Structure 1
Amino acid sequence: MRLSALAFLAFATLPTAACDQLMPSSDKGRPQTARDFPRADRPIANIVSTRWSDEDSRDRLNEADDIMDGAGIKPGMTVADIGAGEGYYTVRLARRVGPTGRVLAQDILPEVRDSLALRVARENLDNVSVKLGAADDPMLPARSFDRVFLVHMYHEIAEPYAFLWRLYPALKLSGQVIVVDADRPTAEHGTPTRLLKCEFEAVGYRLAEITPNLSAGGYFARFNISGNRPDPDKIIPCSLKHHNRAGR
């Protein structure tokens, strides 16, 4: 339904408080840039730490090498580490892709981004760039990445449909999104595998593999782009009732 010119002018001049009352309750508190997308029908885990576990413990379990091997990381690749935190994967990806490759490390917290930038400079990682992202947009350049890593952080993404939709164009045609998470409810800092698959497929990705990975404390999943990304208003959100429980 279209507003008449007078009605539109009256609406546009309403005070902010009145606009808040007219705004659908489901959009309150959401970024303006996310409101064309469905809201996730599940809890969003709070960011409680910039690290999942200490690096020495993770290395003793061979975590990063296992995940990078599964993701097929090779010299010369261009990789994004989203929600990079203190940089556990960032520094190991940088070594694996080598001087002819590139790593873009991103986080949504400015202080975390700044701390990671200092680590990158301190360790002379000349093939790493560090940038700030947003809860609904990784802000990555188009058709640039062979792999995008989301490690122990997917359950913290406040706007998964907007985020995944905007991530999609950043992948090369043969690129993949790599997810590592625990198979438990999102409120418990994990993502059930059924829910993960549903949310990715709702935005046009296709599951390539999902397997248990004990060294990383959960599972390892790979997603391809399918060539069929829906318009934001055509995305069908996944139901908490049917998907937010453990098991495939």
Structure 2
Amino acid sequence: MKSGLALALALAALAGCKPQAPDPDAGRPAAARGFPRADRPVSGTGSTQFSTEVQRDHLGEARTVMTLAGITPGATVADIGAGEGYYTVRLAEQVGRKGRVLAEDIDPGAIERLARRVEKDQLNNVSLRTGTPEDPRLPENSFDRIFMVHMYHEVAEPYAFLWNLRPALKENGSVIVVDVDRPADRHGIPPDLLFCEFAAVGFRLAEFVRKPEVTGYYAKFEVAGPRPAPAAIVPCRLGAGATAARQGSGK
């Protein structure tokens, strides 16, 4: 009898020592856990200044991007991942006094520095907001254009991020992405993967051009159809040659 009890206790102890299965959502923000995990590496957050503003203006970067995006006086735009404000200040000038610019970043330090710049330059048509990796926290139905310039490759939760961003667009609004065609862990993102991730959340590609002025490519996305429920989002997977396909789609 005693030996049987000892055996049962030993088995119970062994069961208690059995290693637990790893949590597939470990390290993810709680608000992102209902969305698929991205099947790609993510570039570490680097400097909030992509290159010097003088160099970028010499190439005509901002002017080229704003022209392609059709930014006119009176427009309402968001600058996501605003960093030191290169686009924020130029968008503020372009939309004029009747327009509005919301500059967003997840780095509180960058927002503080940008706030000082906005105050110094008296940019009264600019407001600031601190977002999170899974949610830019934009007001709904507010923007003609949402810009993500040389920052999308740093978005660790693309499906949650784009899902939360989408309602902020006005009717006929669009999202503008400028990035570099190289692996996502080297501060760029292959276009096929970019297109796939946007399509998974209900966007369609409206325009794509490669421009030396923007040090990479320009992509414009528009809303296409209803926004899917988070659990219904079909994630993308990387394939050979850095191409992307929808998981389970056969494409």
TM-score (norm 2): 0.87
Q: Which residue type is aligned with residue 31 of structure 1?
A: P
The AA in structure 2 aligned to 1:223 is F
The structure with the largest alpha-carbon Rg is: 2
- The structural deviation recorded for 1:25 is 2.6
Task: Give the corresponding residue for 2:8.
Answer: none
1:38 corresponds to which residue? Answer: 36
* CA apart distance, 1:51: 1.0
The number of aligned residues is 227
| Percent of residue pairs bearing the same amino acid type | 57
- Partner residue of 1:201 out of 195, 199, 202: 199
CA distance in 2, matches of 1:64, 1:194: 24
- 1:34-113 superposed matches below 5 A: 34-113=32-111
| Unmatched segments (≥5 aa) in structure 2 | 1-15, 245-251
CA distance in 2, matches of 1:214, 1:237: 31
**3-state SS, counterpart of residue 194 of structure 2:** helix
Segments of structure 1 that go 5 or more residues without pairing to the other structure are 1-17
Q: Is the partner of 1:177 in helix, strand or coil?
A: strand
Q: Which amino acid aligns with 2:60?
A: N
After TM superposition, give the deviation of residue 42 of structure 1 in Å. 0.2
Match of 1:191 in 2: 189
Distance 1:243 1:207, change over 3 A: farther
Alignment of 1:230-241 (within 5 A): 230-241=228-239
SS in 2 for 1:103: strand
Counterpart CA distance in 2 for 1:243 and 1:149 is 28
Residue by residue over 1:131-183, the C-alpha shift from the partner in whole angstroms, topping out at 9 and shown as x without a partner, is 10000001000000000000000000010000000000000111000000001
Q: Could you report, residue by residue, the CA deviation over 1:64-84 in whole angstroms, capped at 9, with x for unpaired residues?
A: 000000000000000000000
CA-CA distance at 1:245 after TM superposition: 4.7
CA distance in 2, matches of 1:100, 1:173: 19
2:24 maps to amino acid: S
For residues 60 and 190 of structure 2, what CA distance do their matches in structure 1 show? 24
Letter of the structure 2 residue corresponding to residue 214 of structure 1: P
C-alpha distance in 2 between matches for 1:146 and 1:26: 37
Which runs of structure 2 are paired with 1:1-248 in the superposition (5 Å)?
25-241=23-239, 244-245=242-243
Post-superposition CA distance 1:163-215 (Å, at most 9, x none): 00000000011100000000111011101000000000000001101110111
Q: Tell me, yes or no, if the aligned pair for 1:42 and 1:244 is still in contact at 8 Å.
A: no
Q: For 1:103 and 1:223, how far apart are their aligned partners in 2?
A: 19
Asked whether the 8 Å contact 1:186–1:244 carries over to 2, the reply is no
> Could you tell me how far 1:242 is from its partner in structure 2?
5.3
Displacement of 1:230 in angstroms is 0.7
- Evaluate the alpha carbon distance shift between residue 184 and residue 127 of structure 1 in structure 2; reply closer, same or farther with a 3 A threshold: same
Q: Deviations over 1:107-144 (max 9, x none)?
A: 00111111101100010000000110000001000000
Residue 48 of structure 1 aligns to a residue in which SS? coil
Task: Give the partner amino acid of 2:26.
Answer: K
Structure 1 residues 41, 121: CA separation in 2 closer, same or farther (over 3 Å shift)? Answer: same
What secondary structure is seen at the aligned counterpart in 2 of 1:39? coil
SS at match of 1:223: strand
Task: Kindly state the Cα deviation for residue 240 of structure 1 after the two structures are TM-superposed.
Answer: 1.5
CA change 1:22–1:133 in 2 (3 A) is farther
SS at match of 2:36: coil
Q: Whole-Å Cα distance in 2 between the matches of residues 23 and 233 of structure 1?
A: 22
Cα distance change, pair 243–142 in 1 and its aligned pair in 2 (3 A)? farther
**2 CA distance for matches of 1:120 and 1:157?**
25
For the aligned residue pairs, the C-alpha RMSD in angstroms reads 1.6
One-letter identity of the residue aligned with 2:132 = A
Question: Hey, what's the Cα distance between the residues in 1 that align with 2:131 and 2:120?
Answer: 22
Worse overlay, 236-245 or 122-131:
236-245
1:22 Cα offset (Å): 6.4
- SS of 1:26 mapped into structure 2: coil
